[in-house]
Amino acid sequence: MRIKSWTVQKPAAPMVCEEREETVKGGEVIVKVHGCGVCHTDLGFFYGQVPTRHQFPLTLGHEISGRVLAAGPGAEPWAGKPVVVPAVIPCGDCDACRAGRGAICPGQIFPGNDLHGGFATHLRVPARGLCPVPELADRAVNPRGLDLAELAVVADAISTPYQAILKSGLKRGELAVFVGVGGVGGFGAQIATMLGAAVVALDVNPLRLELLAAHGASLTLRPDQMEFKELRRRVRDFAAEREIPSWRWRIFETSGTTPGQSTAFGLLGPGGYLSIVGYTAAKVELRLSNLMALDATAQGNWGCLPEHYPAVLDLVLSGKVSLSPFVERRPLSSINETFADLHAGRISKRVILVPEC
């Protein structure tokens, strides 16, 4: 199959639209891309801050939705099906996968990192782990009239915080603090609200905070407009008013920035829990002994296991997690302009790039 994709030749150089041939193999499918979200990690790859596992030239993009056009031997049941492609695809057979630790599978496939990704007309990936999408014309299963392109962000921006929240054990009546609410953090705040948590949203972007205030955040704060001690006092007062002790706080670092990670760590109180969801290659100076002295926990979260995707998709289709106000669609041909706008902070929402053909 002849496909077109936007390829990174070298870091920070404009991506080039190229054609190449793709042939489906056993256990694989070729997906016609309907939408591909742009993630903070894509910016890290493109600008050379984060190395990719596959050398450039490489097509980026790992938040992918589309329809299977071709299926290789063993994958025939997927032919013609609408799907969301997991951002991290474990092998399913190794010791880690059998132990339920697919996130650390040494044979995992990460589209746009291990192989060519979704900023293209089509994508070739393993069939294992694909998330089936119901036919969206059926309003009984899609009452909000979402289209397949919009569902691209299920693959990371919604599924990743979903798994992080599951791992945290967040319960009704507890405190959930999200440090950075663009993309992953914004959807995570919605999920936490749905679970009955009291949600605090921190971000330097007022538009993001305004949007979250309308979708469940009870307190929104600008870390760039106050000293850290004041910010911490505001969060503690908010928790005290609701009689939530520090050991019932769940803090989610979703900004992927050094200031965000410092802020999240500094908010930990006795028995608190910190989930590291955002990524930065930069180092952060911390007093790690705080974890010992506070008997606190810090845990990382890498993507989301494919088995959780159907539940995440159901949250979106049922309207329990709002999607449309948080995303912005752009044509795939705008990719270089879009990356520049995101890098400069000129966009507040999650961008979904849509192929024109």
- Which letter does DSSP use for residue 294 in this model? T
- The Cα 66–Cα 354 span in angstroms is 10
Cα Rg of the chain, angstroms: 20
| Reported CATH class of domain 2-156+304-354 | alpha beta
Q: Domain-by-domain residue ranges, the chain? A: 2-156+304-354, 159-300
User: In a 3-state reduction of DSSP, which class is residue 341?
Assistant: helix
Is residue 167 a contact partner of residue 300, using CB atoms and an 8 Å limit? no
* Closest listed residue to residue 112, CA positions, set 24, 50, 69: 50
Beta strands in 72-193 (DSSP E): 82-85, 122-126, 131-132, 175-179
For the domain made up of 159-300, give the CATH fold. Rossmann fold (3.40.50)
pTM (two decimals): 0.96
Is residue 152 a contact partner of residue 36, using CB atoms and an 8 Å limit? yes
Would you give per-residue pLDDT tens digits along the chain (357 residues)?
Answer: 899 999 999 999 999 999 999 999 999 999 999 999 999 999 999 999 999 999 999 999 999 999 999 999 999 999 999 999 999 999 999 999 999 999 999 999 999 999 999 999 999 999 999 999 999 999 999 999 999 999 999 999 999 999 999 999 999 999 999 999 999 999 999 999 999 999 999 999 999 999 999 999 999 999 999 999 999 999 999 999 999 999 999 999 999 999 999 999 999 999 999 999 999 989 999 999 999 999 999 999 999 999 999 999 999 999 999 999 999 999 999 999 999 999 999 999 999 999 997
